[in-house]
Structures are given as C-alpha cells and as structure tokens.
Structure 1
Amino acid sequence: YFSEEDLREANEPLDGSFEGVGVQFNIFKDTIMVVSPIAGGPSERLGIRAGDRIVQVEDEYVAGVGVSNKDVIRLLKGPKGSMVKVFIKRDGEKDLLEFNIERDKIPIFSVMAAHMIDDEIGYIKVSRFAKTTIEELRTALEELNSKGMKDLVLDLQGNGGGMLRTAINMSDEFLTEDKLIVYTEGRAFPREDTFTSYEGLFESGRLVILMDDGSASASEIVAGAVQDWDRGLIVGRRSFGKGLVQRPIKLGDGSAIRMTVQKYYTPSGRCIQKSYEEGVEAYRLEKYERFESGELLSVDSLDLPDSLKYYTRIKKRPVYGGGGIIPDVFVPIDTTSNSESFRILLRKGLMSRYALEFVDNNRTSIESDYPTEDDFVANFSVSESEIEKFKVWAESQGTEESPIVISEEDWTISGNAIILRLKAFMGRNVYDQSTFYRIIGDLNDSLQEAVKILKDGTFEKSDLAHRTFK
C-alpha cells in the first residue's frame, strides 16, 4: 500500500524528472551549499554555481537555523512555471546575490558515468531503470562508440531496478533481433514472451556486466538475457533475486496498492525471484544470511544442486536458478581494506564532508590548476599534509561515548582506500558524479576483474556467441 505522497515519491525517480529549481545541494555548517547546478536546469541557466550558499528563500532565512533536507526540498521544489526568489552568498561578492528562479522540469539522471577506461574499453554506470534511462544510455553508447569503443563494461552493481519496459529496451541494445528477452507467468495470467525488436547500438562488441547482491529486478532481466544468449559475461556476486510483476491499483483518495500477479523468467527458464516460502522475516534476512554463510567470500559456499541447473540458449553452458543471477566470474566482497576506522568514516560520511570543506576552501586554485576533469583525474593527489589534517579532523568528530581513533594498523589496512575516496569526493564536488566513478573504479574489484578478463584472453575462452573481436 502507498499513500498518495508515498506513491508520488516512489514514482519520481522512475519518471526520470521532478519539478524544481535544479540544484544538487548539501547542508554544510548549517548552510545550504550548492554542490552543483543540474545541467540544463533553471539554476544553471541563471548562473548559479557550485559553492554558492543559499541563505534566504523568499522571506525565510535558511542559514544558521538548523534547516533540514526536508525543509530545503519543501522550499525549492514546486510546480513547473512557478517562481521562487533565493538569496545567495558567493565567495568574492560583498553583497548577497538575488535570483528569481522559474521552476522547471528537472532530469533525474540514471546513467551516472560513461567514459573510456582505455583506448578500447568503455564503462557505463546505470543506477536505475527509469523512463529516460534508454535515451541516456543510447547517448552514452553513441559517445563511446565515437571514441573507438570495442568492449563495454556495464555496471549494474547496486541497481535495484525500475521499469520493465526499460529493461527490455536495454537488453535490445545488446542482443540481435528476434531474441527472447524475458517472459512472465502467473497463476491467473498466461505466459507472455517479450522479444528484441530493433538493431541496438552495441550488438557485437565484447560485453561484461557487473552485478552484486544489490542488483535487482530490471537489472536481473538484462543480465539474465545477456547470459542466457551467451552474449557476454556476468562478473561479481549473485544478484538480489527480485523477479515479481506488480500491477498498481489506484484508489479513490490518490493512494494505491501494488498487487503481485506474475514472476519474471529468463530465456533459459530460470525464475529470477528468490524463495519466500519460509516467511517474510526469512526473506528479509536472506541478504544477511549470504554473508554469514560465506557466499559473499567464496563461490564454493553456493549450494547448486542439479535441480537448479539450466542451459544457455546457444552454447548450452550450464547456468543456475534458485533466485537471482549467478555470475559467470565470481568476485568476492573486498574485506582487505575494510578496517574498523574505515567503516566508521564511511558510516558517518566523514570523507565526503571533509572533501566538501576542502573544495569549498580551495575551489579557485583547483579549477585553475586542473581546468578539466581529465587533468584532475590524471594529476591531482591528496597531499601528505592534507591527509594528516584529515586524520586530526576525523578524530575530532568523535564523542566520549563514540570516539574515533584511526590507528596505525587501521591506516595500513585502509589508508589507500581512504585517500582514493577523498580524491573521488573532491573530484565530484568540483566536476560531477562521473568524476567520482572514474576515480573510485580503482577500488571496484569487479571492474578490475572485468578489465583483466577483457585483456588476458579469458573472455575468448568463455565460449560465447554473438561476438566479434577486433
């Protein structure tokens, strides 16, 4: 069941847009700081910049008054065409700057990054399956194809899914025509097959899809179709296992219920949905059971009886059902850099907070020294003195009840990961989200494995179909 407000909030990311002023913001030192204006939005068109501080909205002061994220959204979002007046403090300007912003439709991007890893391997990160995702994906594919992409790593890690039609269209970009993508079947609903129907933008190059236990629903449809047609390799860990078709039933008061009517099946006949026969609580805890059982650390811990064995459609490779998509190449969860200090810094958001303050204090010099994203990624490094400042600052954020101590042992384990995350957050705050993924990719073990597979001959040995090697 969804109330009218809950339904609107749930649908907004899938619609691919919302109505507002178009800024990404962070509440920093009790002030609304613009992390970046959204490209093409009304704030960018008026000249609002990253680093600007919003101190007043209409007649309401919002600096130093304990404003919350919810308050900011209430003040800045609104119907397309409506006006809102904001006052901004900008470094180098003595007086407040006044902007009268006409709210507009603002895109919610689902392609978070698209870049070349090297001269031949492209990388695309997709965070959700929304109405606008395919348009974004096609734009990314066209751009990377123009740069000479021969191989593609499609990152669906942590992608919880979204719209079925978007998953179908995404699969169509990678599979040739007249291929079964997915079928649905339910107790009161007969089987419905869905096939590819047009020529996609990446039907022949080598394809690797990254998955983990946070990849669900629409992500699993794409991965299942690619795997079952021997089109590419799935790398990572077993996906979540969410394969239910839910039909919304709107009620008179604007609320709605979503009724489960069918299940998704891959082309080989595997049911994507994991079992919920042991009850709701066991279903919810299943993800945690994977860690306890060792599944996230070793492929050998997976119980794969012959009753769960299926075969791919062309090469007849064995694949397994039982809920979720089991990868062709298993990559264990990284525990080598996961010290107690690292977990605390991550949980409390201290690395992103410090990076925001660092950029706020050094934006002008960073933009001067590193005028492009490429310059920053290739040449910027967090200095030793800045690292020491970060350690002191991070420990100062602890309390008597919950102290933060970054020991030498923890730093030996996690230091490189912390430094790389600091750089990634700094890059995101100066440029955009894509910069973050370009830098943080060095910590993504599944991505590193995918690149290795494409370079060392493993891909060719996997006996796949529908591929050309150049």
Structure 2
Amino acid sequence: MKLKNKNFLFLSPLLIAFFSVITYWIGYNQHKKNNDVFNKWKTLDKNIGLKKISDYEKLLYILSTIEEKYVDSVSTKNLLELSIKNILKDLDPHSQYMPYETSKASTEILDGHFGGIGIRFMIIRDSLVVINAIKGGPSYRAGIKKRDRIIEVNGKNIASVGLQNADVLKLLKGEITSNVSLTIFSPKTNTKKKIKIKRGIIPLNSISASLLLNPKIGYIKLSNFSNNSEIEIIEAIESLKKNGMEKLILDLRFNGGGYLHAAQGVANQFLDKNQLIVYTEGVNSKKREFYANEDGVFKDGELVVLVNSLSASASEIVCGALQDHKRAQIMGRRTFGKGLVQEPITLSDKSEFRITTSRYYTPSGKCIQKPYGKNVNYDDDIYQRMDNGELTTNVFLKDSTKSKQYGEGGIIPDIFIPIDTSTSTISFNEFLYTPTLRDFCFDYYEKNQEQDQGVFDNIMNFNKNFFVNDKMVQNLLLNTETIKMENLIESEIEELKWRIKGEIASYYFNENSKYLIYSTEDLDISTAIKYISNTK
C-alpha cells in the first residue's frame, strides 16, 4: 500500500495538471456523471488496464478513479486551478493563470479605468481617510472633501480593526451607474451624514507625476503602460512645453510594463515617423514589426530616461528603441530583463491565462530576456545583483570581459548610477515603506490646517520656507521599535527630513509636489538634472 501511494504521489501532479487544462477547455465540471466521455471510462474493465488507450484517455480514467476512490474528498475546482497554474509556471516565468477577480483587477489597471466613486484614500489607524476626491467625479459632485472619513458602506461599518485596501476596493468598486450608500464623518465640522453615490467611470492614470523641475527641465514619471498612456504622455509633454520645457527626464524606475501597443505609443513620441520601435517573433508566431506611425511630439528635445532593476517589459521596449536610435541617454541600473510577449486568453468563466507566444527584440536585434529554466533561480536574480556588486559598481563597461558573470538580459544603461549602500541599513530602508512615516505626516497635516499662508499658498513657497527639524524626526520615531534616533547616522536623519517634507507637501498640494521635493535629494534624479543641464 505504501509503495502504491508513493507511485501515486509521484505521477499524479504531472498527469493531473496536463489533464486539467484539457478538461477545462471542454467544460469538464462537477456534473461529470452526465458526460458521455467520462461515463465511457467509468465502465472500463479494471482488469484490462490502460494498454490500448490514448494518453488523453488515461488521464480521464485516472481522474475518475481519484474522485471515486481517494481517501478524502477532492475539490475539482481547486485541483483544476492549481494544476493549470503549475503547468503554465513550468513553461516559463511569465505564462500564468489568473482567476476572474485577479484577472479583472489586472485588466482594470491596464485598461485605465474602472467603475467606482472617484477618491484617493488611505487607511490610517483602521479608518478610511479621503485624501482627495477626483475633480468632476462622483464623490466630488456629492460633496466629499479631503480629510473626510468613510465609516459605513451600504450600511456596513468599515471603521474597524484590520481594515485592508482590498476590502475597501471590493466595497466601493462596482458596475458603472450602480449606486452605493455611504456614511461620511467630517472632522472639520464633527458631523456625520449619509449620501448615495452613483458609480462612474474612474480613470486610472499611468502618469504619477508631471512637472517642471526648473524653468527648462521637465519631469514625467510613468508607472505603467496602459491604454491611456499614449494620450497621457502627449498631453503631459504638450503642457510642459507650453510652460517652457526644453529638456525632459522620463522616469521609468519601478515600471513593470503593460501593453505592447502602449509602449509603441509612448516611444513614438520621441522618434521620427517610420523608425522601428520593436519587433516580435516566435516559433509559432510570425515576425511582426512595430514602427513610429508619425513624428513624435518631443522628437528633438534633450531626453534622459531613468531605469532600475524593476523597469521591465514595456519599459524595456521604450528604452531599447531610444537607445538603439541614439535618441536618449539611459541612466540608472540594468533593467529587469523581461523579453517575452504574452497573449491573454479569456475562458468561459471569465478567468484568464496568459501564454508566451513570442519574444521581442530591440531595433538592433537584441532580445533582452534574461535566462530562465532549470538550474536558474529566476526570482532571486534581483537580490543576486546586490550581492555580486552590480548595483554599486559599473560592471558593464564596454571593454569589460567579465560582465557575463554578473548576469545577462535587460537594457544596460548608457550612464550607470550606483545605489548608495553606505548610509542605510536594511531596517532603515524597510522603515521607509511602513505606514508609520505616512501616518505621521498626515497627522501633521491635519493638526496644522491654519498655517501661515505665505508658506502654504503654493508649492514653491512651501519648498523654500518649510523646514523639518530634528524634533520632528524624534517624534516620528517615538513609537517605532525598529530604528532609534540615537542609532541613525547623519545621512539617514537628513533622508527622513526630506521624505517627511515631501509626504506633507503631497497632502497640502498634490503628488507632483512630493516629486519636486524629492528631485534635489533623489540621487538618480539629481544626477539626471546635472547631466541634462550641461547638454546643449
């Protein structure tokens, strides 16, 4: 019996996984007893065995036997989804299966809109706090204000311990034109009110920031490549040009990609008509070439593109095209190295699988996909870059004969900018991404509404006249166990000061304000400013 069980455990994952994809395609479900194909194999003579039937038929027989004889009850749905995930994962790192809810969330981001009420919010100490209502959106029209708290949704109290972003989104999002009832608490008037809001089309902007860093240098941070990205970047560039921009820094750091056509549209804005942007090709996919279909709106101005190890996919398409055509200086660290193209296929239950159909190549013919497969720890590659010194030393000098030992794939920047590891401990860096700093800054903003209007009437005055002192840093660290003021070195204290200042600015003004504050302190941005300021 033990030997039999061992053989079963060894064989079943692969066989069931393969079977699951096939049966999913033909609509296999819990009512299998009504399925003629399934019933055929239920009547197999067990003494004959399986020697004259196909592999597909073997799999049907195995699954039917498992469900009839396995010691515990088996969930076909769970077994199915796990099996599909494992099959696709075994093909390559980027083919994947997504249940409907996951697929829907992913698609909303890249489609650039969803059905909702139109607020930017944060969860602060288990309360849903409105940071701002999108101008012209459902909440704006309903009179919801900055700093309001939403305490009930459709009669359900949400001001509770453990409130998560996912919980909030599930309640506030819904079909466009559907209604949602909210109870709002206003700290300004100390009153509660109930309102009904009709959900609308809420845009998801792919541009996080667009501003002038000085009278001639513009800055655009693009967070993903969605259906709206081309339109957004055209509008941002045109607006900055009207305000005097002559040179541009395009920030693609941490941009994990998106739609290929969006990458084409963004790259197009910096190129001449008919210049090749990217081409794709696969064993079962014919070669397809993607060109700039018109002259770009910023095809001549000085351009720097910032990248890091998490700039991937569509970001690398843009970087590869601009680098090959010598249109921009790519600055930062080697990009992620995702050069595989996935085709999304929606199934009858609205779940989705994305299968790799081709590789993409830069205009010069380079495929930037990093190695994967057996004996390759694909997910740990980013950490290995830190360990082998790649993020702190320029190991990709053109005359270097050792660069391969550091890894392959990705776009190698024209100008390397190292990360600074000498001033920050792991615990310090982890602290920067906890809610503690964010909550502290919002508390300051709420408690200091009646500030000198000479300081807070615009971001330029704020940047010039608002200072964060040591006492504020001490207050920030009062309730944290991970780092203490006395253990920090001077550079870490200074970083906390400019991060506090930027976060507070974002509440008084907008996200652009944060990036304006950061621009003089962020090593990548300040290096790009210095470089582009010295170009003609």
TM-score by length of 2: 0.77
Q: Does 1:288 align with 2:387?
A: no
- Amino acid in the other structure paired with 1:4: Y
1:289-343 deviations in whole A, cap 9, x for unaligned?
111110001013779878999xxxxxxxxxxx94110000000012243135522
Give the superposition deviation at 1:364: 4.0
What's the CA shift string for 1:396-454, capped at 9, x where partnerless? 233xxxxx341435142301100111111111122222112111223321111111112
Counterpart CA distance in 2 for 1:257 and 1:304 is 43
| 1:420 corresponds to | 498
Any stretches of 5+ residues in structure 2 without a counterpart?
1-96
Q: 1:175 aligns with which of 259, 263, 271?
A: 271
Match 1:438 to one of 516, 520, 536: 516
CA shift in 2, pair 1:132/1:275, >3 Å: same
The match for 2:471 is: 385
- Alpha-carbon separation, structure 2, partners of 1:346 and 1:56: 31
Query: Are 2:140 and 1:140 equivalent residues in the alignment?
Result: no
- Say whether 1:353 aligns with 2:449: no
**C-alpha displacement of 1:91:** 2.5
Conservation of the 8 A alpha-carbon contact between 1:331 and 1:446: yes
Unaligned runs of 5+ in 1: 310-320, 399-403, 460-468
1:443 match: secondary structure: coil
Helix, strand or coil at the partner of 1:9: helix
Which letter does structure 2 place at the counterpart of 1:440?
Y
Retained in 1: the 8 A contact 2:324–2:364?
yes
Question: How far 1:346 moved relative to its partner?
Answer: 1.6
CA shift digits 1:226-272 (9 cap, x unpaired): 00001110000000001111111222222121111111100111112
Instruction: Please say if residues 37 and 49 of structure 1, whose CA atoms lie closer than 8 Å, have aligned partners that are also in contact.
Output: yes
- RMSD of Structure 2 on Structure 1 (CA): 2.3
Displacement of 1:101 in angstroms is: 1.3
After TM superposition, the structure 1 = structure 2 runs for residues 357-376 of structure 1, keeping only pairs within 5 Å, are 357-365=443-451, 369-376=455-462
Map 1:26-45 to 2 at 5 A: 26-45=122-141
Contact 1:295 1:302 in 2 (8 A): no
Provide the C-alpha distance between the structure 1 equivalents of 2:447 and 2:489, rounded to a whole number of angstroms: 26
1:262 aligns to 2:262 (yes or no): no
Going from structure 1 to structure 2, the CA distance change for 1:168 and 1:361 (only over 3 Å counts) comes to same
- 8 Å contact kept, 2:428–2:483: no
Task: Output one character per residue of 1:359-414: Cα deviation in whole Å (capped at 9) or x when no partner.
Answer: 1222343778412233323322224432332232xxx233xxxxx34143514230
Residue of structure 1 equivalent to 2:27: none
**SS in structure 2 of the partner of residue 200 of structure 1:** coil
3-state SS of 1:135 partner = helix
The CA distance in 1 between the partners of 2:395 and 2:131, in whole Å, is: 44
Residue identity matched to 1:289: Q
155-164 vs 329-338, which deviates more? Answer: 329-338
Taking structure 1 as reference, are residues 370 and 182 closer, same or farther at Cα in structure 2, changes over 3 Å only? Answer: same
Q: Is the 8 A contact 2:277 2:363 kept in 1?
A: yes
SS at match of 1:159: coil
Give the corresponding residue for 1:18.
114
Check whether the contact 1:164–1:218 (CA below 8 A) recurs between aligned residues.
yes
Determine the structure 2 residue equivalent to 1:50. 146
SS of match in other structure, 1:363: coil
CA distance in 2, matches of 1:133, 1:173: 11
Q: Which moved more, 1:295-304 or 1:70-79?
A: 295-304
The letter of the residue matching 1:417 is: E
Cα distance in structure 1, aligned partners of 2:486 and 2:210: 37
1:397 alignment partner AA = T
Label 1:389 to 1:240 Cα distance change in 2 as closer, same or farther (>3 A): same
Show the 5 A alignment for 1:212-227.
212-227=308-323
> How many Å separate the matches in 1 of 2:417 and 2:444?
34
Rounded to whole Å, the distance in 1 between the matches of 2:158 and 2:506 is: 25
Question: Which residue in 1 is equivalent to 2:480?
Answer: 397
Query: Which stretch shows the higher mean deviation, 170-179 or 444-453?
Result: 444-453
Q: Which structure: larger Rg?
A: 2
Letter of the 1:56 counterpart: E
1:455 match: 533
Q: Is the 8 A contact 1:189 1:261 kept in 2?
A: yes
Q: Is it true that 1:100 corresponds to 2:196 in the alignment?
A: yes
Where 2:443 maps in the other structure, the secondary structure is helix
